[in-house]
Structures are given as C-alpha cells and as structure tokens.
Structure 1
Amino acid sequence: TGAVSGLVSATALQPLDLLKTRIQQKGTTKKRVNALSRVHPIFRFITSTVQNIVRKDGFLALWRGTAPTITRNVPGVALYFYALQNIRSAIAIIPPLNERNRPNVSTLPKASHGGNLLAGAMSRTIVGLVLNPITVIKARFESDRYAYRSMMEGFRALRQSPGGLTQGLLASALRDAPYAGLFVMSYEFLKEQNGKSIPMHWVTRKPEYTCHLSGGCAALFATTITHPFDVIKTNMQVNPARFPSLTRSGLSLAKDRGIIGCFDGMLLRVVKKVLSSVIAWTVYESLLLYSSTKM
C-alpha cells in the first residue's frame, strides 16, 4: 500500500519538485529580495522558469528526474509506512508514549502526541539514511548543472567524488526528522479534531474526508517549519564545491540571499507536500481499511 501511494504521488507531482530544485539552485539575490517579497513576482519567477525549461528541452522535460524520484519514493514510502507502523506498535505498549483513553481515528496503532512525534521522526530518519544516494542523484537530475543520461551514470559520478554518497545527509536529517515528526503528530491530532467537527456519518461512510483535510493541513504546517533545511540540502547536493558543509552552506545562503532566500521554492514545496500527503495517506489508509474489512 505504501508503494502504491508513493508511485502515484511521485509521478503526478514531479514537475513541482523539478521547479523547486531549479529555483533553489538559482536562488534569490539581495537585489531581488524586495521584489520577491511580494506575491506576484514569485509567480512570474515560477512562470519564467517553466517557460525556459519547455523552450529549451520540451514539455516532457518538466518530468526530468522522475526515474530517481520513483526509485526513491516507491520503496521509500513503503519503507516509511512499514517502519512507522512497527515503531508505533512498539510505542503503543510504553505507558508514557501511549494514551489509551484517546479515540483511535487511524488505521495506525494508537500513541500519544509525543509518541507520534517520535515515531514519525525515527521512521523518516531511517529512510533518509538508507536512500540518501538516490536523493542526491534526484536533485542533480532536476538541476541544470548535470547532464546525467542515466541513474547508473549518476551513481558512478557520486562514487568518484569524495563524500558524494552522503552529500547533504545532515541537512536532510535536520529537515526530515522534524518534518515527519511534526506531520504525524499534527495529522493524528487534526484527525481527532475533524472527527469531532465533521458529521459522524461522513466519517464512517467517507473516512477519506478526514485524511484529505488532516493530511493537507499537517503537511502545510510541517513544510513551513522545516523549509530552510531543504534549501541548504538542495544546494549542498547540487553544488558541493561551493556548499561543502551544513554550517558554511547556511551562512553563505543567508549572506548571499538574505532571510527570504532561505525560503526559496517554499510555495512549490508546500503545494507538492500538501498534495502528496493527501494522496499518500488517503491511499494508504483506504487500502489498509479495505484490506482489514476483507480479512
């Protein structure tokens, strides 16, 4: 079920990831900060990036990087949901991380808010460590600095560069652990609240309503909080010579681009994360609910 949800979201939303990487790579300079602080120039910036990609390489170039995205997301999402299920099952028997009196509105084992935060962070960190080399290749496919013709060519290039396989790993962990922890915690909390406010016959007949709303809101919250680390991660993986370490990358980006530059591409990442979370969690919980009723 996790693999199915990962495949659907990865294929459908790849252009948003590609645009985000290009914008983060290009970045905003301090001369453009005042202009980009308004909404409409940001949309012009995105539009011009799309036009340049399509004019140079054609419409299908917006899906460049889909192969590494699928290679990462399909097993990654499956592994994430598997780890999350098992970690929450273990947490559910630990009294401080378990709240048996709270309603269980999820197909996942019931845990406290702190337990959900811990389970999400641990699960996503494990996946990030395992799949980081593919994440680096994905970022480089999406950028315009590399002309890899295949994933094997990308792997060979990473192996030949010092630290290539672990490039941006710390920045990814600092992004993914709090993101996943905050997401799972707020997702479960919002499902409880939505279960109280949405008419009960909607919840029982159409449980995907609560998944849609809760998943989208949780993704919006967690993405906004963690986005600066996504900008650092992208630049470390795409241009390691200029951004060799987490500290130097953060200081360099803040100096060159200012505070607003640390949120380059956030609109695209928010849209992508909201949509992918709605797709992934709705598909995942719906399939689990369907399989449980057939057993």
Structure 2
Amino acid sequence: MEITPTQQMISSCSGALITSLFVTPLDVIKIRLQAQQGSRKCFMYCNGLMDHMCYCVNGRTRWYSRPGNFNGTIHAMIKIAQNEGISSLWSGLSPTLVMAVPATVVYFTSYDQLKSKLAPIFHSYAPIMAGAIARGGTVTVISPLELIRTKMQSQQLSYRELTEVIKTSVRKSGFISLWRGWSATMLRDVPFSMMYWYMYEELKTRVNTSSLFLQSFISGFCAGTTAAIVTLPLDVVKTSRQIKLGEKEMLGLNGNGSVTTLGIMRNIINTSGTRGLFVGLLPRCAKIAPACAIMISSYELGKSFFRSSNQLASSERSRDFISIQDIGT
C-alpha cells in the first residue's frame, strides 16, 4: 500500500525533529569546546541536518561564547547542564527548526517521489539519480535563504537595511550573487547524497532482521559513515570556505577573492599537505553516522505507520462495500 506525499512529508518532518533533538547537544558542546580554545570570529554549527554560521560578536552574550572551563565532552555536558540548565544543551536548536526541518522535508519527500518515477528507467541506479536531483534541488532553493540569514547575523541588519544590501548586491553582481557558496555546497552534498542513498537501498535488502527499525538504523548508519569518509575532503573545503566568507561578511568586505573553492583547496594543500583535506574524520563520522541512522529509521517508521493505516482504511472500505452489496441482494 503506497502512502501519499503529505504522509511522506509528515514522516520526514518527525524524523528531522527527532534527529535534531538527539544530535544538537553534541554540536553545542563541540562549539563550546572550540570557543574556549582561543579568539574565534566564526564557528560552523552542523548537527547532521544543516550547516549554520555562528558569529562571535563582542559585547553580546551568545550561547557558543559563554565562559566555561571544560576538560572534555562529558565534563562539558555535565557542567553546562548544572550551571546553565539542561535546556542550554539545545541552544542551537532554533536555526534547525526554522530552516533545516523544512529543507529536510522537501529533500526526503522529493527523493522518494523521484525514486519511484526513475526506477523503471535506471533500475538499481535510481537511488543515485534521485538522490542527486533531490539534494541539488534542495540546496538550490535554500542557498539564497542561507545567504540572507548570514548577512542578517553578521552585520546585525534590520529587515529594511537587509533589503537595501540585497538590492545593492543584485545590482552589482546580478541575481547569481544570491547563490554565492552554492558550488561548494553542491560539491559536497550531491556526491554524499548519491553515495548514501545507493548504499542505503542496497544494505537495506541485505540486513537480515525482522525489525524495520534495526534494518533502517543499521543501513543508515553504515551508509552515512561510508559517505562521510569518502566526501570528507569536500566537507573540509566547504567548511573552510563558509567560515572565510562569514568573516568577510563580519568585516563588511565584498568579493570572493581567495575564497573560491579551488583557492581554498590549494591553500589547504600548500599549508598542511594532502593530509589537511582529511582532518576531522572522527568528529564528522561521530556526528553524521548517528544523524543519518536516526533520521532514516524515524522516517521509515513513519512511512510504515501510514502504510499500515492506509491498508487498514482500505480493508474497512472493502468490507463496507461488500456489506452494502449483501444488503442490496
């Protein structure tokens, strides 16, 4: 029994909410640990569903720049909960709920719809094509919104001032300026999506368990880990580029300059060698793998619930129809 696009959207929305609730505290702690290591202008917040630029603004108290002498992850978690309240561990949740949840809903629903349409053409490779198109479309739609939010946060602009800044940017560089940073995001997210969905669909048929939750959780975890490792260099370049662009926004500088994707990659290789493209492997896997597993298992359980509900409703309608026929005869 098939489910409707609306039911797919509800399933992906619930999955995104559950993922955010589980993974957000890990990234809040990571950023707080980074903040105490020295003076930083920007931090990247990424809880497995989204990337979000955090700005350290002097004279303003922000959740990522509060004081704290932490000795490690567990110590930070306990101390933050004791001194600031347990809710502080979810301080970075609001940007996720505002943008990442709708984006995730569009992404997962588009993938399922595209996969069913492309399966007769591409057969077992349909997940690759559907993943690429769904992710590319989502990134393209969200990029201007991300840029607008970045400008508002970095320059503390009102909505009227923001409108003028956007008009000036469009007048000078055209509408394409609203998609600045799009190429770096596409370079990382599309290959990740293609690899993830293909591996997930393959593994799901091979995981020998009667539990839908375990089947999707294990498959999502393994697929997410592999895709995260393979696309790590692209993630390093993309994160570096976003931080540099964020710092330029804070300083009011225009133009990309050396902040191009190739420029960042060359700079990393010249500074740290090829090894520099593979830094942060464990933190990336520790975040992405469980996020993928929680998201996909929640999504699959939601779809299973609606599938069962539709089946039950269909059976009841059939029984009512037969009963009406019996009465008529």
Shift of 1:184: 0.6
Task: Please give the per-residue CA displacement for 1:209-237, whole angstroms capped at 9, x wherever unaligned.
Answer: 11111100000000111122222222222
Matched, 1:117 2:128: yes
Find the counterpart in structure 2 of residue 273 from structure 1: 288
| Equivalences, count | 249
What amino acid is the match of 2:243? V
Shift of 1:73: 1.9
Q: Secondary structure at the match of 1:92?
A: helix
Q: Secondary structure at the match of 1:193?
A: coil
Shift of 1:259: 2.8
Task: Please give the per-residue CA displacement for 1:3-58, whole angstroms capped at 9, x wherever unaligned.
Answer: 1111221232124445379599789xxxxxxxxxxxxxxxx99759969x96xx96
Q: Secondary structure at the match of 1:262?
A: helix
What amino acid is the match of 2:107? Y
Match of 1:132 among 143, 154, 160: 143
Task: Please give the per-residue CA displacement for 1:144-185, whole angstroms capped at 9, x wherever unaligned.
Answer: xx7677997997798477777423211110111110110010
Q: Secondary structure at the match of 1:93?
A: helix
Match of 2:223 among 188, 199, 218: 218
Alignment gaps of 5+ in structure 2: 1-10, 45-69, 249-256, 311-329
Return closer, same or farther for 1:265/1:116 CA change in 2, 3 Å cut-off.
Answer: same
Return closer, same or farther for 1:10/1:257 CA change in 2, 3 Å cut-off.
Answer: farther
Return closer, same or farther for 1:285/1:154 CA change in 2, 3 Å cut-off.
Answer: farther
Alignment gaps of 5+ in structure 1: 28-43, 99-111
Matched, 1:69 2:91: no
Find the counterpart in structure 1 of residue 3 from structure 2: none
Matched, 1:8 2:18: yes
Does the Cα contact within 8 Å between 2:31 and 2:43 map onto a contact in 1?
no
Q: Secondary structure at the match of 2:120?
A: coil
TM normalised by structure 1 equals 0.69
Does the Cα contact within 8 Å between 2:268 and 2:276 map onto a contact in 1?
yes
Tell which deviates more after alignment, 244-253 or 233-242: 233-242
Does the Cα contact within 8 Å between 1:167 and 1:237 map onto a contact in 2?
no
TM normalised by structure 2 equals 0.63
CA RMSD of aligned residues (A): 4.0
- Which of the two has higher C-alpha Rg? 2
Whole-Å Cα distance in 2 between the matches of residues 50 and 219 of structure 1?
A: 27
Does the Cα contact within 8 Å between 1:5 and 1:283 map onto a contact in 2?
yes
Sequence identity of aligned pairs in percent?
24
Find the counterpart in structure 1 of residue 270 from structure 2: 255
Does the Cα contact within 8 Å between 1:3 and 1:75 map onto a contact in 2?
yes
Whole-Å Cα distance in 1 between the matches of residues 271 and 227 of structure 2?
A: 26
Matched, 1:228 2:269: no
Task: Please give the per-residue CA displacement for 1:114-146, whole angstroms capped at 9, x wherever unaligned.
Answer: 2211111111111111112455578899xxxx7
Matched, 1:178 2:183: no
Q: Which has the higher contact order (CA 8 A, sep 6+)?
A: 1
Find the counterpart in structure 2 of residue 288 from structure 1: 303
